[in-house]
């Protein structure tokens, strides 16, 4: 038993197993390591996840999905699609364990944080000739249910698109999609093994479709405060290149109270209760190191510096926040001017 709470962040549990290789007819040893198990159990409890149900989700074979990002990492869903297992580099693995104490404390203080929930960190020592595989378990931002629209947003908009956008005469309005009657949340079908994923849109697709969060003033204000806090936290840790993952599910009829009560903590409900927005910050393990700095130096010579990903954490957070406020939180009926985050980098965040 570790002697202090600090030791819990460095705790490891190792399990060795021997398997028989049928093809080559010999035994191979595998090693599995569970990092900071009690800390991640605490994060699961803070997220309202029961231990028995969590283990039950991993009872069946995981569903592999091809990577949709440039990292090339592998993704695996549990069959109920509530959790996501993602392979990670050794550098990301070390960085996660390094920031784990402050991440854990932040989640405890900010239970409504939009930061993705890391629920477990593991490694597997493969047979001789193979590298150690590192992977992390995360909560699915979409909550395991079906969505009709998905967007991965970084706040990058080309200058050409901005010029076209300024020439538009009509105000930005949320895209309305005519759908056939959708089932209630309780009876909504879980995406099956054979079902295809909804197309993952990017920043300019969201703008072209005029998508915004059609929520009331109270939700809008709380959401704005939370993203400022979350971005401030990531900035202080020197993190950038993260995304806002947005999933939207539309309903033909307004949701009832019992259905609203069953929504996950990161779900926002539209004013008319006919749309649910699932929001979460993902890919939050990229530290602004020398590699990113070199990339910025090179790309700044070839491209508009405001249109590249490799920005210092303060600049990245500023652009990211401004995009979300100007577009996701764009209220076409608002009488007050849009907020500016020009001084964000110099502010303190609790």
What pLDDT, on a 0 to 100 scale, did the predictor assign at position 37? 96
Of the candidates 43, 109, 56, the residue with the CA atom closest to the CA atom of residue 350: 109
- pLDDT band (50, 70, 90) for residue 274: very high
Tokens 């929504």: give the residue: 263
Which pLDDT score is estimated for 61?
A: 72
211 pLDDT more than 90: yes
CB atoms closer than 10 angstroms to residue 27: 10
Please report the pLDDT score of residue 286 as a whole number. Answer: 96
Q: What is the pLDDT averaged over residues 4-26?
A: 76
According to the model, what pLDDT value does residue 125 have? Answer: 85
Other C-beta atoms within 10 Å of 59: how many?
Answer: 9
* Mean pLDDT of all residues in 173-200: 44
* pLDDT greater than 60 at residue 138: yes
Residue 27 is predicted with a pLDDT of: 64
C-alpha dihedral sign at 238, 34, 110, 48: positive
Residue percentage of the chain with pLDDT more than 90: 62
Higher pLDDT, 145 or 104: 104
Residues 241-261 have a mean pLDDT of 95
Instruction: Write down the pLDDT at residue 143.
Output: 85
Average pLDDT rounded to a whole number, residues 321-330: 94
* CATH number attached to the domain at 5-139: 3.30.800.10
186 pLDDT band, cuts 50/70/90, is very low
What is the pLDDT at residue 307? 87
Nearest Cα to 83, choosing from 112, 106, 62? 62
Q: In the chain, what percentage of residues exceed pLDDT 70?
A: 76
pLDDT digits (tens, 9 = 90+) for 277-317: 999 999 999 999 999 999 999 998 888 877 899 999 999 99
CA distance 156 to 202: 9
Cα 285 from Cα 116, distance rounded (Å): 11
Q: How many CA atoms lie within 13 A of 295 on its CB side?
A: 12
Which range has the worst mean pLDDT, 26-35, 38-47, 85-94, 159-168?
Answer: 159-168
Could you list the beta-strand ranges (E) of the chain.
12-21, 26-35, 63-65, 75-77, 83-88, 118-125, 133-139, 149-153, 200-201, 243-250, 267-269, 275-282
CA gap 275, 14 in Å, rounded: 45
Q: pTM for the whole thing?
A: 0.82
Please, which pLDDT band fits residue 272 given cuts at 50, 70 and 90?
A: very high
Is the Cα dihedral 303, 306, 307, 310 positive or negative?
positive
The domain made up of 149-346 is a member of CATH 3.90.870.10 = no
pLDDT on residue 335: 44
Average pLDDT over residues 195-209: 86
Q: Are 324 and 155 in contact (CB under 8 A)?
A: yes
Break the chain into its structural domains and give their ranges: 5-139, 149-346
Q: Which residue has better confidence, 180 or 61?
A: 61
Of the listed ranges 12-16, 71-75, 123-127, the one predicted with least confidence: 71-75
pLDDT band, residue 151 (cuts 50/70/90)? very high
The mean pLDDT of 25-36, rounded to a whole number, is 81
pLDDT at 165: 52
Indicate the average pLDDT of the chain. 83
346, pLDDT greater than 50: no
Q: Choose the most confident range, by mean pLDDT, from 123-137, 154-168, 173-187, 309-323.
A: 309-323
Pick the closest to residue 240 from 154, 299, 145, 172 (CA basis).
Answer: 154
Reduced to 3 states (helix: H, G, I; strand: E, B; else coil), residue 238 is: coil
Model confidence over 326-339: pLDDT tens digits?
999 986 545 444 55
Place 160 in a pLDDT band, splitting at 50, 70 and 90: low
């Amino acid at each position: 038993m570790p002697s202090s709470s600090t030791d819990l962040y460095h705790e490891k549990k190792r399990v060795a197993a021997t398997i028989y290789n049928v093809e080559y007819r010999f035994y191979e040893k595998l090693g599995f390591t569970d990092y900071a198990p009690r800390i991640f159990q605490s994060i699961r409890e803070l997220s309202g996840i029961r231990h028995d149900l969590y283990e039950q989700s991993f009872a069946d074979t995981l569903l592999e999905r091809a990577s949709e990002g440039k990292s090339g990492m592998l993704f695996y869903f549990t069959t109920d699609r509530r959790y996501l297992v993602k392979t990670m580099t050794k550098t990301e693995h070390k960085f996660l364990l390094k920031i784990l104490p402050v991440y854990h404390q932040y989640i405890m203080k900010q239970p409504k944080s939009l930061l993705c929930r890391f629920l477990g960190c593991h490694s597997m020592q493969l047979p001789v000739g193979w590298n150690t595989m590192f992977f992390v378990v995360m909560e699915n931002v979409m909550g395991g249910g079906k969505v009709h629209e998905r967007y991965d947003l970084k706040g990058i908009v080309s200058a050409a698109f901005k010029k076209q956008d300024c020439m538009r005469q009509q105000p930005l309005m949320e895209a309305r999609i005519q759908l056939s009657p959708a089932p209630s949340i309780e009876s909504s079908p879980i995406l099956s093994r054979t079902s295809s994923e909804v197309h993952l849109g990017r920043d300019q697709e969201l703008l072209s479709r005029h998508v915004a969060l059609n929520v009331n003033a109270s939700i809008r204000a709380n959401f704005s405060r939370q993203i400022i806090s979350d971005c401030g936290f990531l900035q202080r840790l020197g993190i950038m290149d993260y995304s806002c993952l947005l999933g939207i599910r539309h309903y033909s009829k307004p949701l009832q109270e019992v259905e609203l009560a069953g929504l996950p903590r990161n779900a926002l409900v539209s004013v008319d209760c006919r749309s649910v927005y699932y929001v979460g910050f993902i890919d939050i393990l990229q530290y602004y190191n020398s590699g990113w700095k070199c990339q910025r130096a090179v790309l700044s010579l070839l491209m508009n510096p405001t249109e590249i990903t490799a920005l210092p954490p303060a600049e990245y957070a500023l652009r990211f926040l401004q995009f979300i406020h100007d577009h996701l939180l764009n209220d076409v009926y608002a009488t007050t001017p849009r907020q500016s985050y020009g001084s964000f980098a110099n502010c303190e965040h609790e």
